Amino acid sequence: MTSKLGRGALGLIITWVFALAAQSTEAAEPDLAVPLPAACAAKTDVLGLSRVVEIDTTAGPRFGASQYKDNAFLEDGEVVLTFDDGPAHKYTLAVLDALDAECTRATFFPVGRMALADPETLREVAKRGHTVGLHSWSHKNFKSISTAKGKEEIELGLSAVNHVLGAPPAPFFRFPYLADTKTALSHLETRNLGVFSIEVDSRDFTTRNPGNVLRNVVNQLKTARKGIILFHDLQPSTASAMPSVLAALRTGGFKVVHLIPKAPAATLPEYDAVLAKEFERRKGVVASAAVSEAAAGAAKGTEASGQATPKGDTPPVAASDGPKPRPRAKKPFWRPAGDDWQLRGYIGDE
Ligand SMILES: [Zn+2]
C-alpha cells in the first residue's frame, strides 16, 4: 500500500503552467505543443484551459477514484475531459469542434480497430492538440479473456494507434468497461502504461438525449467537485451535448486540466509486425473487392447501352462508347462490423 502511494506521488510531475504564467501576465497561455486556435487569445468568455499536468507513467500508475485512488493532481473544481471508443468520424469531429469553440483540450482513448477504420479522424484529434492514449485493440472485456489475449489487446491496440498517428501515442490506457484484471494491470506496470479510470460518468451510452448527458455530468460534479469525466466520442448524445456541457462547466466555475505524458509509449516490434501484416491483408481484401465492383459496374454499363456481354467473356473494364462506371463513394478501407461497442446495442460500456 505504502509503495503504491509512494509510486503514485512520485509518478506525477505537476506543471503549473498557467498558474505561474498568470503571475507575470494575465494574457499568458499554457505552454502547448499545439497552440490553441488563434481566436482563443482574444476570447474571455470561453472555458479555456486552466493548466497542463505532465504525467510520468513509469511503473504504470493508476488514476481515478471510482476504482483506484483520489487524483491528487486535481484540485477542487478541476476536471479532465476524456473520450473513449472512437474515432467515429461525424461524432468525433462534432466533439472536436465543440472543444475548439471553448478553447479547451481533452484526452482521447481510441479503440485500435476503430483507428484503423478511420485513420484520418484520429489524426485530426492529434492535429488539434488533444492527447491520444489507447483503449485496447478490439474492446474486449478483459475479465472474460485469457491473460495472453489481454496482453494482445493492449499491445495490438498500442501498435494500431502508433501506426495511424505515425508516432507513439501517450502511454495512457483505459480498460474497456473499466474492467481491469490483476494480470493486465501487472503487464501495464511492466510496460510503463498508466491506467486511467474515472470520477464522473456521463452515461452517454444509455441515452440519445443530450439533456440527459448534461444532467448526469452536472449532478455528479455536485458531489465529486473534481475529477476525470468519461464520455464516448462515438455517441450521438455526447456529440450533441458537448457545447452545453462545456458551457455548464464554464458557468459552474470548473477548470479544465490538460494531461500530457512525460514520455511517449513504446510499441513492441513483434506487435508492430503483426499489425502491419493485418493492415496489408485487409487493404488487399478491399483492393480485390474494388476490382470486382469496378468490373461489375462496367458490365452493368454495357447492359444499359444495349450491348450484351457474351457469356464467358470478360466484361470490358472501360468501353469508350458506353456509359462509364459511376465513381463510387470513398469508403474507409475497413469498417469493423458487429462489434459490441458500436452504436447498435451499445449498452453497458463504462
Ligand atoms: Zn469503451
Query: Long-range CB contacts (< 8 A, 24+ apart) of 5-8?
Result: 5/69, 7/59, 7/61, 8/61, 8/62, 8/69, 8/72
Is the separation of the CB atoms in 55 and 259 below 8 Å?
A: yes
Q: Compare 21 and 342 and report the one with higher pLDDT.
A: 342
- SS3 call for 228: strand
Q: CA dihedral defined by 149, 150, 152, 154, rounded to 10 degrees?
A: 160
Task: Say if strands 51-55 and 12-13 run parallel, antiparallel, or are unpaired.
Answer: antiparallel
Ligand 1 centre distance from Cα of residue 176 (Å): 4
Calculate mean pLDDT across residues 120-134: 98
Q: What is the pLDDT of residue 282?
A: 74
pLDDT surpassing 90 at residue 280: no
Is the separation of the CB atoms in 153 and 137 below 8 Å?
A: yes
Domain extents in the chain: 2-269
Ligand 1 centre distance from Cα of residue 337 (Å): 16
Q: Which one is the CATH code of 2-269: 3.20.20.370, 2.60.40.10, 3.30.300.10, 2.30.140.10?
A: 3.20.20.370
40-65 residue pLDDT tens: 988 989 999 999 999 999 999 999 99
Ligand 1 centre distance from Cα of residue 345 (Å): 13
137-188 residue pLDDT tens: 999 999 999 999 999 999 999 999 999 999 999 999 999 999 999 999 999 9
- The lowest-confidence range among 90-99, 121-130, 297-306 is 297-306
CA–CA gap between residue 187 and residue 164 (Å, rounded): 23
Ligand 1 centre distance from Cα of residue 128 (Å): 22
Ligand 1 centre distance from Cα of residue 341 (Å): 7
Sign for the pseudo-dihedral over CA of 343, 346, 349, 350: positive
193-250 residue pLDDT tens: 999 999 999 999 999 999 999 999 999 999 999 999 999 999 999 999 999 999 999 9
pLDDT surpassing 90 at residue 79: yes
CA–CA gap between residue 84 and residue 342 (Å, rounded): 11
Q: What is the pLDDT of residue 348?
A: 35
Q: List the one residue out of 128, 51, 119 whose CA is nearest residue 97.
A: 128
Q: What is the pLDDT of residue 39?
A: 87
Task: Say if strands 255-261 and 78-84 run parallel, antiparallel, or are unpaired.
Answer: parallel
Ligand 1 centre distance from Cα of residue 85 (Å): 5
Q: What is the pLDDT of residue 277?
A: 87
